[in-house]
């Protein structure tokens, strides 16, 4: 199994801040990584695919980077709607796995 | 506009079989490159991928659940069905179906709202 570790687990920030979430894979997944945003009681929302490609309709303040085993999601200029939990997901091998999540809350 | 909607029982007893249906709208499950997957999640935990079926009927399963899961599609009804046998209280979760696009097969760009299943006697 490919294990994904996200850090930090919790991140406190303010509106307007720039924040970065890291996702580390236990083995090389090239760029087969996606990022999701989830709010309580809702389904995950797709943000980024292939590590750095922005899904259509997602604000440009979201960006992704990385390859191999180290990936980041950056939000530049936090908006009130961005406070949520973020998950990475690898789809390099047919046991798709998710990171444990990063909760972004108000400082 | 692509939408998905899960349906099925809200409560099942231990050892029973769970059958969940995902009804698709705005796309066909037989469109080249398309996949539909099932993912579940318990409160406060990360999502857990269960299964995926492709337009060409290729099927993938979570290895640890392979013997319990069956995924099928009905092109005429535009539905995807997941069955899980021998249900246990640890299978209590919200179950989501989701669309996997041709441009990033294995990731899930559109999700249904989810259906909560409780396993209890």
Contact with chain B for residue A17, Cβ under 8 A: no
Closest of B47, B44, B95 to residue B69, by C-alpha: B95
CB atoms within 10 A of CB B109: 19
Check CB contact of A46 with chain B, cutoff 8 Å. Answer: yes
| pLDDT at residue A64, rounded to an integer | 98
Render pLDDT for A28-59 as a digit per residue (tens, 0 to 9): 999 999 999 999 999 999 999 999 999 999 99
Two structure tokens written together for A107: 């400082």
What span, in angstroms and rounded, lies between the C-alpha atoms of B27 and A76? 34
State chain A's mean pLDDT as an integer: 97
Quote the pLDDT of residue B66: 86
Q: In this complex, do B104 and A89 lie within 8 Å of one another by their Cβ atoms? A: no
Sign of CA dihedral A83, B104, B102, B21: negative
Per-residue pLDDT, averaged over A2-20, amounts to 97
What residues form DSSP beta bridges with A85? Answer: A38, A103
Q: Is B59 on the interface with A (CB under 8 A)?
A: no
What percentage of chain A carries pLDDT values higher than 70? Answer: 100
Average pLDDT of the residues in B70-82? 96
Contact B46 A49 (CB under 8 A): no
């Amino acid at each position: 199994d490919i294990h994904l570790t996200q850090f930090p687990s919790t991140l406190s920030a303010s509106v307007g801040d720039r924040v970065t979430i890291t996702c580390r894979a236990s083995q090389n997944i090239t760029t087969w990584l996606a990022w999701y945003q989830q709010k309580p009681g809702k389904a995950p929302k797709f943000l980024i695919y292939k590590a750095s490609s922005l899904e259509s309709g997602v604000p440009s303040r979201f960006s992704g980077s990385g390859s191999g085993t180290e990936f980041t999601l950056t939000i530049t200029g936090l908006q009130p709607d961005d406070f949520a939990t973020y998950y990475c997901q690898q789809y390099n091998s047919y046991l798709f796995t998710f990171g444990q999540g990063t909760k972004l809350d108000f400082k | 506009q692509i939408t998905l909607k899960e349906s099925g029982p809200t409560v099942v007893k231990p050892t029973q079989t769970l059958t969940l249906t995902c009804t698709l709208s705005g796309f066909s499950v037989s469109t080249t490159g398309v996949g539909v997957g099932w993912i579940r999640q318990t409160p406060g935990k990360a999502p857990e991928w269960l299964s995926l079926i492709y337009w060409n009927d290729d099927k993938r399963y979570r290895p640890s659940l392979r013997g319990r899961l069956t995924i099928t599609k009905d092109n005429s009804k535009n539905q995807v069905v997941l069955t899980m046998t021998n249900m246990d209280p640890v299978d209590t979760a919200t179950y989501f179906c989701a669309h996997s696009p041709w441009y990033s097969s294995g990731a899930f760009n559109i999700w249904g709202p989810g259906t909560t299943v409780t396993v209890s006697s």
